[in-house]
Structure 1
């Protein structure tokens, strides 16, 4: 865990050196020093990006939720075929 934290800190500290000075002046304050290019062309770019972020976060949440606790309890569910084969209790 400590190694992951150190690696994460090093990666975050390296992000400030990614953009060149010319690109830094063209970026809005939020993105300054992070990315190259001219930056967002309009406010619609921010709306599109934040919509995609929300969709990804919801998808990630429900994916992890279904992997950890799927909620299917019936014995005839299709996942029981695989689980019973692993246990050696094939019916």
Structure 2
């Protein structure tokens, strides 16, 4: 028996929404900043916040560079391998 797409999509969205946001018990253990987003206990010290900030900064810079080089790769050599695929 083949499952219709609408049932599969509904199950997927319900499953994702259940585990995406924190439960009520975890909300009580989290600081205000991360209260609705994560499960478990929150950061214990200022070093934890420093590490989280550093990881966020690295992620944003990596994303910015990936978008930049995806849109403007800067390769102008006509013998570059990409031109073999574009022909």
TM range (shorter): 0.5 to 0.7
Superposition CA RMSD, Å: 2.6
Point out 4+ residue stretches in structure 1 off by more than 6 angstroms.
none
Give the whole-Å Cα distance in 2 for the aligned partners of 1:68 and 1:33.
Answer: 34
Gaps of 5+ in 1: 1-9
1:44 and 1:29 map into 2 onto residues whose CA distance is 17
Q: Distance in 2 between matches of 1:26 and 1:53?
A: 22
Task: Assess, with a 3 A threshold, how the Cα gap between structure 1 residues 61 and 85 changes in structure 2: closer, same or farther.
Answer: closer
Q: Structure 2 unaligned runs (5+)?
A: 1-12
Question: Residue 84 of structure 2 aligns with which residue?
Answer: 84
Confirm or deny that 1:55 pairs with 2:44. no
Aligned length: 72
Name whichever of 57-66 and 25-34 sits farther off. Answer: 25-34
Question: TM-score by structure 1 length?
Answer: 0.61
Provide closer, same or farther for how the CA distance between residues 86 and 45 of structure 1 changes in structure 2, counting only shifts above 3 A: same
Q: How does 1:1-91 map to 2 (within 5 A)?
A: 14=17, 18-76=21-79, 80-84=80-84, 86-87=86-87
Change (3 A) 1:52 1:64: same
